[in-house]
Amino acid sequence: MAKQPKLDMPEIEAAPAKESEKKVNKTSKKPTKKRRSIGKFFRDIISELKKVSWASFKRNKDNSGVLGQTGVVLLVTLFFMVVIALFDTGLMELLKLLLNAA
């Protein structure tokens, strides 16, 4: 086996931690970084949900409403479920015929 040449890698020094990133010692009542980030996470979620354009529940002239859209989704899902079931049944019967012939 040939020896692999040793590569010279530069040393990387860690940057000093910021005061806000350091965990507070356990005797202090201040929240740690993890608690602040969880609170910020939920505040961000609420903020984003307020920006969402929610569909109206009832039908109006502009759209079919949530119930109408749900009905369309259920019909399309049912249609493809039937198509896949028929395809699966057909392939299973074909496999049975091939195994019986062998």
H or E stretch including 97? helix 65-101
How does pLDDT run across 20-45, given as a tens digit for each residue?
555 555 555 665 666 668 889 999 99
| Per-residue model confidence (pLDDT) at position 60 | 80
Q: Is the pLDDT of residue 78 over 80?
A: yes
Q: Which of 41, 42, 14, 36 is nearest to 23 (CA)?
A: 36
Would you kindly state where each structural domain of the chain is located, as residue ranges? 64-102
Which pTM does this prediction carry? 0.46
Q: For 67-78, give the DSSP string.
A: HHHHHHHHHHHH
* 95 C-beta neighbours (distance < 10 Å), count: 10
Q: For 15-43, give the DSSP string.
A: PPPPGGGSPPPTTS-S--HHHHHHHHHHH
Mean pLDDT of the region 8-21: 63
How does pLDDT run across 43-71, given as a tens digit for each residue?
999 999 999 988 787 888 777 888 888 99
